[in-house]
Structure 1
Amino acid sequence: MKFKRPSASDNEGPQLAPMIDIFFLTLIFFMVASVYSQFERNISIIVPKAASGEDNSRYPGEVIINVDKDGKFSINNSEKSISEIDTILADISSYYTGQPVIIRCDGDSAFSNYVKVFDLCKNHSIENVRIATLGESE
């Protein structure tokens, strides 16, 4: 029986295929994670709790309008005036009829701020409007 002796040519170094697989799996993970991180969550806004509050499913392309406790409005982490929000909602409603809008109003904010945004949605025939709340258990 003849056994083959290990030679210098058998030791070719580390295998690259598993390293490339790990690299691409990590790349895919961060690409997917970045898509989910685009859902806007302004952590300075504390939405009120509601007994019927639930975590609804998210829709692609939904517009999230944040209203902080000082009455400042923002979309996509940039502060907007009420007239700018009116223009944005007018453009959106002209292109997309069933566009979902989520109003995240701080619990300490004046109710009139919520009414302003809701009124703009109604004026532009946007009917898919939701109010962000927390459930009682959260």
Structure 2
Amino acid sequence: MKFRARVPEPIGFQLAPMLDIVFLLLIFFVVTQTFSLYEPDLKVKVPSAEQATETARHNPNEIIINVREDGTVTINREHFKDKDQLYAKLYNSALLDKDQTIRIRGDAKTEYQKMVDVLDACTKAGFWNVSFSTKRAVPAP
């Protein structure tokens, strides 16, 4: 009887599953990058309030104005040095849609005059739907 010697198949690298994983990772990072543009400034620690409400979802048309403790004003990571620059940016946005929501996220230690300047620029640009962000107060144990 003649036996055939089994020659093992050459070891190969499966390319198709690796490409599937790479494309899934690519899609994941592209989707999360677009959401990160709407992230609020993490350096701003908003004040707490007993009647604060949680927003379920971020409105993509909402303009978030961050006012840091040192008075720096940012919109979508763009810094504004004075209220005239801020007004110009808001005025251009108001030309597109005056019913747009404006959310002001001011740090709890921000100077009050800086918050008034931001609110004044919003009103001067023609926005009427302006709100302030707060966080829910933590009950004392």
For the criterion TM > 0.5, the same-fold answer is yes
Give the partner amino acid of 1:64. I
The aligned amino acid for 1:43 is L
After the TM superposition, which of the residue ranges 112-121 and 84-93 deviates more from structure 2?
A: 112-121
CA offset at residue 17 of structure 1? 1.4
Q: Which residue pairs with 1:78 in the alignment?
A: 78
Q: Distance in 1 between matches of 2:78 and 2:90?
A: 15
How far off its partner does 1:35 sit?
1.3
Q: What TM-score, normalized to structure 2? A: 0.81
**Separation (CA, whole Å) in 2 of partners of 1:5 and 1:101:** 77
Q: Please say if residues 67 and 106 of structure 2, whose CA atoms lie closer than 8 Å, have aligned partners that are also in contact.
A: yes
Match of 2:51 in 1: 52
Instruction: State the 4+ residue runs in structure 1 displaced beyond 6 angstroms.
Output: none
Tell me how far apart the structure 1 counterparts of residues 107 and 130 of structure 2 sit (CA, whole Å).
Answer: 16
User: 1:40–1:77: 8 Å Cα contact kept in structure 2?
Assistant: no
Structure 1 position 6, deviation (Å): 5.3
Structure 2: 5+ residue runs without aligned partners? Answer: none
Partners of 1:5 and 1:94 lie apart in 2 by: 81
1:65 corresponds to: 65
The answer for the alignment partner of 2:13 in structure 1 is: 14
Counterparts in 2 of 1:114 and 1:136: CA distance versus 1, 3 Å: same
Q: Give the match's secondary structure for 1:42.
A: coil
- Distance in 2, Cα, partners of 1:117 & 1:137: 28
Letter in 2 for 1:114: M
Shift, 1:70, TM fit: 2.5
- Matched pairs, number: 134
**1:101 corresponds to which letter in structure 2?**
I
Match of 2:123 in 1: 122
The sequence identity of aligned pairs, in percent, is: 31
Aligned partners of 1:125 and 1:90: how far apart in 2? Answer: 7
Structure 2 distance, partners of 1:86, 1:130, is 17
- Larger CA deviation: 15-24 vs 67-76: 67-76
Q: How far off is 1:44 after superposition? A: 2.3
Cα-Cα RMSD = 2.3
Distance 2:7 2:129 in 1: 71
